[in-house]
Amino acid sequence: MNEHLIEHREATFFVQAAGDSMINAGIQEGTLLVVDRALEPRHNDIVIAVVDGELTVKRLEKRRGKVRLIAENPAYAPIEFKEGQELVVGGW
């Protein structure tokens, strides 16, 4: 299984999803996520991000110089970032 899922062994970790913000992307409470920090996150990727010291799973949106994290559940508002705010992202 590792041969098929892990390209960058030293940069890869597993995390278990909590909550329902990504339910429409098929990520439910308890889903095991494979995270490869060696991948460069791109527009529309699902990413693990650190926001205010907390890990979150969201879709990355980069448009017109602005960055937002979008939930795949309409009950959750997008997380918008302004210039000067720090966002740490690891793609998967």
What pLDDT tens digit does each residue of the chain (92 aa) get? 666 667 666 767 788 999 999 999 999 999 999 888 777 888 999 998 888 778 899 999 988 878 899 999 999 999 987 776 667 776 54
pLDDT at 59: 96
pLDDT at 90: 63
> What are the residues whose beta carbons fall under 8 Å from the beta carbon of 21, sequence distance 6 or more?
56, 57, 58, 71, 72, 73, 75, 76
pLDDT at 19: 95
Residue 71 Rama label (left phi>0; alpha psi -120 to 50; beta)? beta
All structural domains of the chain:
2-91 (2.10.109.10)
DSSP 40: P
* Residues labelled catalytic: 21, 58
pTM over 0.75: yes
